[in-house]
Amino acid sequence: MSSPSQKLGSSDSEIIEGLLAGGPPFEKYALVLYRMCENYIHEAVKKHPLLEAADIHDAYIDAVDAVIKKVLSNQFKKEVAKLSTLLYQIFSNKCIDQLRRVTNHKHEWQRNLNTITEDLPVKSQDFLQSMMEQDDMNDILSVMEKLAHGCKELIMDFDYWGFKPEEVAERKGYKTGKSASQAKYRCMEELRKLIKDEQVTKSAKK
């Protein structure tokens, strides 16, 4: 089976020579390197459903840049491996790094969600806990969809993505981090009520 670079009419040697030449040849062969394994992006999107397609694309661009740096610093030995193999290895590692980041956010998100069970009736606490234990984020997010405009995004920014109050304020247009935190508190109060109502509704259907 021919390699992606061969399908594009460029061997590894040609790509390396073009990158080392600099100027227009560098730009041409940097693009060839990028395009020769674009199918890796589509494969990764299917393989890692937890990752956003944009994050996977960014990881691929970073991987291409890393390969180019290895070529320019003479760290790549074509006798040892193909460019496509090196690119795949680096890209895979970067996808795993992205996956770890998302997973860590998710665990932190679940820990933070525990705080909204305060002052809830025991049955409502059990209802939310069961959703988290079942790892059913769709159920949690479906409840959050019923929040007032902007509340879901506000809570996600704080408790899922881990932005600081000042960062949330800048992203969402609040004057200060304190005002953003106060808005989040109001949203959490609304979420508590929705979870309680949702639990009552589900119990009535049983």
- Report the alpha-carbon distance of residue 67 to residue 84 in Å, rounded: 9
- Report the alpha-carbon distance of residue 27 to residue 205 in Å, rounded: 63
pLDDT band at 139 (very low <50, low <70, confident <90, very high): low
- Report the alpha-carbon distance of residue 125 to residue 114 in Å, rounded: 9
- Report the alpha-carbon distance of residue 87 to residue 89 in Å, rounded: 6
- What domains, with CATH codes, occur in the chain? 4-103 (no CATH), 118-205 (1.10.10)
pLDDT digits (tens, 9 = 90+) for 83-125: 999 999 999 988 888 877 766 665 555 555 555 545 444 444 4
pLDDT band at 3 (very low <50, low <70, confident <90, very high): very low
- Nearby residues of 50 by Cβ (< 8 Å), 6 or more positions away: 99, 102, 103
- Residue 67 tokens read as 């390969």
Least confident range of 1-5, 126-130, 143-147: 1-5
